[in-house]
Structure formats: C-alpha cells, structure tokens
C-alpha cells in the first residue's frame, strides 16, 4: 500500500524555513520507501506544506508511526510553528501520468502498472485510520507528560 500525508504548518513570525527544517528533519529513517516533499504556499510563504508518500505493509506502517511519534517528541516544533496544524492522510489508489500531449485514453485505476483492488483499499483505509488515530493520541498523551 502507498499512503500519503499532507501536513500544513505556519511559521511563527520571524522564523524561517531553515529554522523549521532544522527542528523537523528526521534523524531516524523509516526503513521503507518514504519520500517527503516540502513546499511553501505561494500565497503565504510562512505556510509549509509537507507531502509524504510511504510504501509499506501494514506492520511497517505501524512501525513508521512509532518512529514519527518518537521523533516529534524528541524534536518538538512548538518554538518554530504556530500551534494549529492541518493534517490529511490518505491512501494512493491510482497514479496517472498526463504528460503526453493530445488525447489520452481512459484507463482503470492502477499503481505501478497493477490494477487497483478498490475493495481492498477500503479495507486498508479503515485500518490505517485507526493506526493513525492511536499514534496521534499516544503522541498527544506523551507530549502532555513532558
């Protein structure tokens, strides 16, 4: 499965992307294909948008959440960003390349050339949502104990 996260944060007045990056940068890898892309909002350069794409099995996903909880607790961002954080999580169900010029024929949803089993995606979504919810609650609980 491939999951995607879109996290938005806003820099505090006087803070820079470099300040954010130094506090946010992970010091422990996830051990599975994990690519994160960071963007600045063109209408508000203080807003940082991080899009993460993780390809993993369910157990690896859970292990990655544990690593992320530990990283955020060890490297808090509260000195750099405003308290409000936007969080969106999803699962990739199709990759589509619209690079060619001209007419493109319709194709069924697929990832890496393999047709997507939509029913399996819906089953996995429920599991992933539960894992994220538990990891977030754990992070918040531990953050409150610091």
Predicted local confidence at residue 132, as pLDDT: 87
Mean pLDDT over residues 27-56, rounded? 92
Model pLDDT, residue 145: 65
- Given a contact cutoff of 8 angstroms between Cβ atoms, the answer to whether 72 and 82 are in contact is no
Mean pLDDT of all residues in 115-125:
91
Rounded to two decimals, what is the model's pTM?
Answer: 0.78
In this structure, of 8-22, 45-59, 125-139, the range with the lowest mean pLDDT score is 125-139
pLDDT at 66: 87
| Alpha-carbon distances of 20 from 16, 52, 78, 105, rounded to whole Å | 6, 16, 10, 43
Average confidence (pLDDT) over 51-56: 91
For position 15, what pLDDT does the model report?
Answer: 97
Q: Can you give the pLDDT at residue 32? A: 87
Q: What is the pLDDT of residue 146?
A: 58
Q: What's residue 12's pLDDT?
A: 97
């Amino acid at each position: 499965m491939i999951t995607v996260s879109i996290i938005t944060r806003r820099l505090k007045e006087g803070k820079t992307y470099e300040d954010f990056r130094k506090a946010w940068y992970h010091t422990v890898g996830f051990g599975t294909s994990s690519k994160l892309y960071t963007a600045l909002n063109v209408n508000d350069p203080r807003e940082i948008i991080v899009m993460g794409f993780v390809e993993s099995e369910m157990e690896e996903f859970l292990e990655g959440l544990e690593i992320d909880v530990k990283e955020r607790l060890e490297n808090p961002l509260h000195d750099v960003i405003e308290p409000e954080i936007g969080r969106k999580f999803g699962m990739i169900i199709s990759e589509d390349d619209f690079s060619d010029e001209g007419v493109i024929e319709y194709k069924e949803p697929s990832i890496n050339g393999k047709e997507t089993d939509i029913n399996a995606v819906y089953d996995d979504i429920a599991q992933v949502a539960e894992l994220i919810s538990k990891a977030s609650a754990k992070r918040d609980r531990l953050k409150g104990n610091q």
